[in-house]
Amino acid sequence: MTRTDHRHRHLERIAEVLEGREAEKVGYPIRVRQTEVVRTARVGAGLLRVTLGGAGAEGFEAHAPDEHVKLIFPGPDGSLRLPEQDGAMLRWPRPAPVSREYTVRRYDPVAREIDIDIAPHEGGLASDWARAVRPGAVVHVAGPPGGLIVPHAYDRYLFAGDITALPAIARWLEELPRDARGWAFVEVTDAAEEIALSGPDGVEVRWLHRGGRPVGTGDALARAVTAVTVPDGERLYVWVAGEAGQIKPLRRWVRDDLRLEKADHDITGYWKRGVADFDDDH
């Protein structure tokens, strides 16, 4: 009896979605990998890039701008508890290991390097680790479990978020077709947190300066985004991420004003003020 090889079925599905009309989340075979810190570097004033490599980074899956991994840290007692491989999935121990979730900013299969951009903040577990870590340190990475595949069939694209969404937005802009049109809105403290973005000429990038206002507060992002005029008859794709409360008005805007279908938008709370390791399971 001939067995069908399904190991690369997700790659076939990704290609199908890209050629289709609607976005879809596609799962990848998930692994936990032992990697090493290669280097760290500042990306503007608001992000700290940790580059991971080593043999464990070989064969890493990277197919979608918003895909994420979990960095797994030792528990309070110093012990490291890791998930176990269970076919194409992972079986997580209970209670769950200490971990933090981050966007995959870049994967270079030739150099076997994974870039993770972290927005440092006071008292953040991963922030403190990223500031102190040195090349050669071992870190275990779980994922990505999959990613949102968005076809190139839309007339316009709209991306919006704060500094925590900037790594994903930067990757979105890099991976869009060069003739794509749309908008990208990014709220940062000031010009020092702006970074170079390699987007299509037809995508307008607007940096919104927060100034002294606490991160995750105010309505400047929502006001700027909802002022956009989408030409009649055009198909729009919307991707938004950031502080859960701050982006809530954009959920209503997409639902009530734009009336987009579920497959035509993705809005995710990456974090919530006052909540550690927030998980938006909307």
Q: Give 191's contacts (C-beta < 8 A, 6+ positions apart).
A: 207, 209
- Position 93 scores a pLDDT of 93
Q: Which of 99, 125, 146 is the last residue of a domain?
A: 146
Domain final residue, candidates 129, 146, 163: 146
Q: Is residue 199 situated within a structural domain?
A: yes
Residues 206 and 267 both lie in one domain: yes
Please name which of 191, 215, 47 lies closest in space to residue 206, comparing C-alpha atoms: 191
Residues 181 and 243 in one domain: yes
Decide: residue 97, CB within 10 A, 0-12 exposed, 13-18 middle, 19+ buried.
buried
The span from the CA of 49 to the CA of 217, in Å, is 25
Which pLDDT does position 282 carry in this prediction? 41
Query: Three-state DSSP class for 12?
Result: helix
Residues 201 and 132 grouped into a single domain: no
What's the domain count of the chain? 2
Residue at 280 is within a domain: no
Q: Which of 90, 120, 146 represents a domain boundary (last residue)?
A: 146
Q: What is the extent of the structural domain holding 135?
A: 9-146
CATH number for the domain harbouring residue 63: 2.40.30.10
Pair 42, 132 in one domain: yes
Categorise residue 191: left if φ over 0, alpha if ψ from -120 to 50, beta otherwise: alpha
Asked if the structure places residue 2 within a domain, the reply is no
Please report, for the domain that includes residue 264, its CATH number. 3.40.50.80
Residues 122 and 193 in one domain: no
Q: Is residue 99 part of a domain?
A: yes
Q: Two tokens at 76? A: 């309070």
Domain shared by 141 and 166, yes or no: no
The verdict on 180 and 243 lying in the same domain is yes
Taken as a whole, the chain contains a residue count of 282
Most distant pair of Cα atoms in the chain: their distance: 68
Instruction: Average pLDDT across each block of 10 residues of the chain; the chain has 282 residues. List them in order.
Output: 59 95 94 97 97 96 95 93 92 93 97 96 89 97 96 96 97 97 98 97 97 90 97 96 95 96 95 72 47
Q: How far apart are CA 169 and CA 164, in angstroms?
A: 10
> Quick one: 23 and 46 in the same domain?
yes
